[in-house]
Amino acid sequence: MAGIRSEPQLFIEGNHRTGALVVSYLLMQDRQPPFGLSPKNAQEFFDPSSLIQTIDKRKFLANFRLPHLKKQFARFLKREADDAHLAR
């Protein structure tokens, strides 16, 4: 899987929407339902991505913070999954 850089920010606006598209692409490659960003789930989607963006991935402590954030984000994605978006 290719890495996604959090810095520099590519767009003044739209980084979160781009992130949602990347997440959907990765999920659909694994035959999972795509992620749908909505007003209801937006804050919960934005919070971990904002935290991840501020972590210096080259620092030792990132090894301890990132796995927790990944697990938290994976639980969020599972909770938001909607099989209605899969082709039958």
| pLDDT tens, residue order, the chain (88 aa) | 455 555 665 555 667 778 888 899 999 999 999 998 889 998 988 887 677 666 776 777 667 777 888 898 899 999 999 888 777 6
Tell me if 52 is assigned to some domain: yes
Kindly report the number of other CB atoms within 10 A of residue 48's CB atom.
Answer: 15
Q: How many residues does the chain have?
A: 88
Tell me if 72 is assigned to some domain: yes
Domain of 81 in residue numbering reads as: 15-85
What pLDDT is attached to residue 27?
93
Tell me if 29 is assigned to some domain: yes
Tell me if 32 is assigned to some domain: yes
Q: Is the pTM of this model over 0.85?
A: no
Tell me if 8 is assigned to some domain: no
* Domains held by the chain: number: 1
Tell me if 2 is assigned to some domain: no
Give yes or no for a cis peptide into 8 (omega within 30° of 0): yes
